[in-house]
Structure 1
């Protein structure tokens, strides 16, 4: 039976509690540091949902402060990852190069950058410019250039298409950057085996935890916001073994 351990606090504090080499996969969606950038864009901000991340205020760090926070995150990540463990980090495309440079300073091996294509994005800016329907994800391994990769002999592209999180995945509450369980399951199945441990230090509403529990993986999740933590807890507890 898979175990789930959830922490409602800053992720660095929680990660420091974890044993060296105890994590098989870090699957996470940290802040993209786009809040201040978006405020200066020609977008329909007033028409966006109430919990849009710009209004939420948690993505408004300066670049220098964001870089320091990610540096601390990667420092703890490499300590807790097993040799050959993997990391999938979602990130805005314009920040991918910066993210890779920080990660490589800590000895992570950069594998590839992939794209998540949202089949049904909100068309909120359709009369201003091309609708944003993609986000990047970056794949790293630690200490080894190849880790677990369960492709079952099939060609797996670095381009993944799903819908956004369905209403049924938001019944306990909404998160402004919620990822669908289907997307998180893809990485859980390919990069880990049953009984192994997945860590999400920026858990949000808990999609990675739901994906891990559905596929008999242990899960450790950390979320600093109490409201989102409660949403994640209820979602993960709802999953039947």
Structure 2
């Protein structure tokens, strides 16, 4: 296979096969961003034949990331979205294991970001999990970072420097383009998001407009914030565990090139279909920055059912 190299026109490619083999076709240092969400090894349909204990899982995934890191440019990044491996209700936080692995591979952690969502499986022997993490690494100290595309509205735009600040007394203290989201990004301008250090984005469940047959699909919005902040138009985005092509869709949406690798041909084909729909302006996506909808107090779903009231009074 010929080396996959940059192309002046945004394009999307999802290749089917084992990541360790296909990554060899990607040019070294050709990608500005590697963004992915690897299998969590929790028994999903695509994991059942190869479920591993946590140590075997780390041994399996480590060489894939070691090779994938060779494809990242010296000023590039790796963004990893992970949850937890579970065994008999015991939780093994994957970001803990991946941090050690990627640190040993020479990557430098810049942020650990919380992604919170409202819905998921309800646990019976522990509190129900409602967040996952996104680890942002750079490959070197000289890395690309575009702040302006991800600035958020100022909470106090009228705030001014105090009279004790020489040379700036009385001048506006904020940036007219918005504030730096520091170690969290506020996906909605609503005041609710101005007070909490989390990314509050709906996960892709039954009624989500991006839902496909993939059981662990992450939203395009999660990937496109990384794409906007860490890459420029025309850059290559790489995902060695592409699933249904979410990272590639995010890349194409913002005029970047996308390379996805997916071992399951069924999921890869869905990803290709999504790319075609995006190019035709027909892909149904949740708008970036759209506030999470909360039910009104007058809606039926906000009212305790009569059956509960009867049980609580008995």
Shorter-chain TM-score tier: 0.7 to 0.9
**Residues 89, 139 of structure 1: 8 Å contact kept:** yes
Match in the other structure for 1:160: 199
Counterpart-to-counterpart distance in 2, 1:56 and 1:32: 9
Alpha-carbon displacement from aligned partner over 1:5-43 (angstroms, at most 9, x marks no partner): 2211011111111111101000000012334xxxxxxxx
Counterpart-to-counterpart distance in 1, 2:65 and 2:144: 20
Alignment of 1:132-171 (within 5 A): 132-142=129-139, 144-152=140-148, 154-156=179-181, 157-158=183-184, 159-165=198-204, 167-170=208-211
Match in the other structure for 1:79: 70
Displacement of 1:228: 0.9
Alignment of 1:51-130 (within 5 A): 53=44, 57=48, 60-92=51-83, 94-118=93-117, 120-122=118-120, 124-125=121-122, 129-130=126-127
Counterpart-to-counterpart distance in 1, 2:213 and 2:45: 15
Counterpart-to-counterpart distance in 2, 1:59 and 1:184: 27
Alpha-carbon displacement from aligned partner over 1:165-224 (angstroms, at most 9, x marks no partner): 253312xx3111101111111111111111101001100111111111110000000110
Q: TM-score, normalised by structure 1?
A: 0.83
Q: Which has the larger radius of gyration?
A: 2
Consecutive unaligned residues in structure 1, runs of 5 or more:
36-52
Displacement of 1:77: 1.9
Match in the other structure for 1:40: none
1:3 to 3, 11, 23: 11
Displacement of 1:112: 2.3
Identify the structure with bigger relative contact order (alpha carbons < 8 Å, sequence gap 6+).
1
Consecutive unaligned residues in structure 2, runs of 5 or more:
1-8, 85-92, 152-178, 185-197, 281-314
Bigger proportion of residues as helix = 1
Give structure 1 regions of 4+ aligned residues with deviation exceeding 4 angstroms: 126-129
Cα distance change, pair 57–84 in 1 and its aligned pair in 2 (3 A): same
Cα distance change, pair 13–24 in 1 and its aligned pair in 2 (3 A): same
**Residues 214, 243 of structure 2: 8 Å contact kept:** yes
Q: How many residues align?
A: 219
Match in the other structure for 1:44: none
**Residues 6, 220 of structure 1: 8 Å contact kept:** yes
Secondary structure, aligned partner of 2:247: helix
Give RMSD over aligned pairs. 2.1
Counterpart-to-counterpart distance in 1, 2:10 and 2:54: 38
2:31 to 23, 29, 53: 23
Secondary structure, aligned partner of 1:66: helix
Counterpart-to-counterpart distance in 2, 1:117 and 1:167: 16
1:232 to 252, 256, 271: 271
Cα distance change, pair 33–238 in 1 and its aligned pair in 2 (3 A): same
Q: TM-score, normalised by structure 2?
A: 0.65
2:233 to 172, 194, 198: 194
**Residues 28, 90 of structure 1: 8 Å contact kept:** yes
